Chain A
Amino acid sequence: MPLTKRIIPCLDVTTREGVARVVKGTKFINLRDAGDPVELGAFYDEQRADELVFLDITASSDDRNILIDMVEKTGEQVFIPFTVGGGLRTVEDIKEILRAGADKISLNTAAIQNPNLIKDSAKIFGSQCIVTAIDAKRVYVKSPEVAKNNIIIQIGEKYCWWEVYIHGGRTPTGIDAILWGIEAQNLGSGEILLTSMDKDGTHLGYDLELTHIFSEKLTIPIIASGGAGDPQHIIDVFKLGKADAALAASIFHYNEYPIGIVKEECKKSGIPMRL
């Protein structure tokens, strides 16, 4: 029995009235407080999620203590690995979150602005806890020649490359996502959390070409994100996209497809899973 593929629910959290809350309401009637990230985390552990990701979408440093408190409490009730991301800018920020009990942190905008943050933090805390989150969007071009400095993929009759966006997907950077991924790996990142902005929120499936090329070009694990709408999408991103892990939010939160069902479907199609 080999290493299994991972299923990772993602919880967007915000801080309200001094406590961390899950942003979109979840639909679990058997939870005392479905908006409590800690309780929801423990519930997912019980459901056999392989890991959790908490993204602080407010990402305000004023609320850092609230986030740290959430991380502390999560560690008391959740016994699977969890990653915390959102607004971490310095080695000191990272240290606080890891000390509170997070297993990994994810860097996005701050890593683009200061790539040495990956290097410095990997050196201090180890590569295994530094995840680089990349938000990538397709840029279609007429021919491969017009974007010589990018990694161009032919999809059907079209050509495209992927551009990195920062600030929660609001700001294009002109940076090639694949080249950035390779650089992040070389700087010491232990994993890539790869979100397709084209697919995110569509429920139409992951960007398989994007995931596949990342998995091919990099040697570190790739967590695919953005677009999961049903179990088949997750099967596809493992089989065709060659992802190591699949992250999803709404299909789990609204209990459309409980984690157990998704994992069984994956297993049935021959994907190694921890059931």
Chain B
Amino acid sequence: MPFYIAIIDYEMGNLKSIFKCIKHLNADAIITDDLKEILEADGVILPGVGAFGDAMKHLKEKNLIPVLNQIVIKKKPLFGICLGQQLLFSRSSEMGEHKGLSLVEGEVIPFEISKVEKIPQIGWNSVRLLDSDNFLVEGIPNHSYFYFVHSFYSNPKNKDEIIGLTTYGDVEYCSIIGKDNIVATQFHPEKSSKYGIQIYKNFINYCRK
């Protein structure tokens, strides 16, 4: 099989911009909800914009939860983006309590208006790298800016899994996660100009190995 990245299609958000970013890097990608296509891919991206509960519901309906578990067991590279990053966690309190994929231990919690200026956080914020050796951030200078849009953030239980931190108002939170073959960003690399493109390049390179 020729190399390709599977972008999981579960009806949550702008998948095309991720697709175009990967194409821009001369790699192949498919937007798919086909279990076999996802399992056979060289790397998998779990994107997502929207509400946590809806997203889990769609993943369940499409029978994608066991597939994601298998990808992790098989040590295939998995990249969660924005909501896709939050879904990796054990639970979220977005509009009620919801169980997540539990691939990373921890919870997803809301910004509080008393601690930040505006909700959602929309715009470019910087990332302080705690682990600059992680493959995902190769060639990314410390404190580079990325584009964020979110009202909730994740709080991993195991602090070793934090690759990068971002400060919004009085809150410092995890914006890049790395755990074995799983990586994830709260920001949108496909909307973060050259350093965002570099992140995809790093992911693709890792998938080629």
Q: Which residues in chain A, 177-224, are within 8 Å of chain B measured between CB atoms?
A: 190-191, 219-221
Binds B, one of A73-81, A168-176, A231-239, A248-256: A73-81
* Chain A contact residue count (CB 8 A cutoff): 32
* Proximity string of chain B (118-159) to chain A, C-beta cutoff 8 Å, 1 when within and 0 when not: 111111111000000000000000010101110000000000
**Contact in complex: A81, B147 (CB < 8 Å):** yes
CB of B13 within 8 Å of the partner chain: yes
Which one, A4, A125, A220, contacts B145 given CB within 8 A? A4
* A21 lies within 8 A of chain B by Cβ: no
When the two chains form their complex, are residues B122 and A76 in contact, meaning their CB atoms are under 8 A apart? no
B147 touches A219 (CB 8 A): no
12 A-B contact pairs sorted by A residue (CB < 8 Å): A2-B125, A6-B124, A50-B123, A76-B24, A79-B190, A79-B191, A79-B192, A101-B16, A126-B51, A221-B118, A221-B122, A244-B123
Give chain A's interface secondary structure class: loop
Chain B residue at minimal CB-CB distance from A73: B20
Q: B residues near A, CB below 8 A?
A: 13-14, 16-17, 20-21, 23-24, 49-51, 113, 117-126, 143, 145, 147-149, 167-169, 188, 190-194, 196-197
Q: Is the CB of B23 within 8 A of A126?
A: no
Neighbouring B residues of A101 by C-beta, 8 Å: 14, 16-17, 20
- A246 to B59 Cα, complex, angstroms: 38
User: Across the interface, which residues of B come within 8 angstroms of A100, CB to CB?
Assistant: 16
Q: Which of B23, B119, B124, B169 has the most CB of A within 10 A?
A: B124
A76 touching B192, Cβ below 8 Å: no
B124 touches A219 (CB 8 A): no
Q: What residues on A are CB-neighbors of B143 within 8 Å? A: 1
A129 at the interface (CB under 8 A from B): yes
Cβ-defined contact, A4 with B120, below 8 A: no
With contacts A3-B121, A3-B125, A76-B24 taken as known, whether A128 is within 8 angstroms of B193 at the C-beta atoms is no
Please, which residues of chain B bring their CB within 8 A of the CB of A245?
A: 123
Q: How far is the CA of A79 from the CA of B195 in the complex (A)?
A: 10
Which residues of chain B have C-beta atoms less than 8 A from A39's C-beta? Answer: none
- CA of A101 to CA of B113 in the docked complex: distance in angstroms? 31
- Report chain B residues within 8 Å CB of A45: 193
User: Complex formed: what's the CA distance from A1 to B168 in Å?
Assistant: 9
The residue from B20, B49, B126, B191 contacting A80, defined by CB atoms under 8 A apart: B191
Does A268 sit at the interface, judged by CB under 8 A? no
Q: Which residues of A contact B13 (CB under 8 A)?
A: 126
Which residues of A, 1-41, contact B by the 8 Å Cβ criterion?
A: 1-6
